[in-house]
Amino acid sequence: MLDRKIEETGDGVTLKLYGDVTIQSAAELKNILVEQLGTHSDLTIDLSYVTDCDLSLFQLICAAHKRSVKDAGTIRIGDCSAAVYGMASSSGFLRTSGCVPDEHQGQGCLWQCEKAGVKHE
């Protein structure tokens, strides 16, 4: 079972993920994201407690982000652990341009270096 905590805030909902978030928990994470996006238009995903992850985490978050933009919602990454930054960097997810045009509520790609707190060299 995927270890997580969901907190309602004044800005929407924060989903905190804990421990390993890998392909073994991908189906469960997909269901959680679909449920939260179906109920809340503003979702922050806190990845600061993730100790290990693989590409499935990024694929699911990207799919959820695209759906959110299409439905006029908002998804943000609250914070990332060293494990998440490492995987995002080594897998090529950190980038200087995004996959979602900025005319969509200023929501460029979640993994743009500036948004992810990384300076591009």
Domains of the chain: 3-90 (3.30.750.24)
Look at residue 6 and tell me whether its pLDDT is greater than 90: yes
Q: Please tell me the predicted confidence (pLDDT) of residue 87.
A: 92
Across all residues in the chain, what is the average pLDDT?
A: 83
Look at residue 105 and tell me whether its pLDDT is greater than 70: no
Token pair, residue 40, equals: 């809340």
pLDDT bucket at 95, cuts 50 / 70 / 90: low
Q: Which residues, in sequence order, are CB contacts of 92 under 8 Å at separation 6+?
A: none
User: If 0-12 CB within 10 Å is exposed, 13-18 middle and 19+ buried, where does residue 49 land?
Assistant: middle
Q: How far apart are CA 33 and CA 93, in angstroms?
A: 20
Helices (H), 1-121: 26-39, 55-70, 82-90
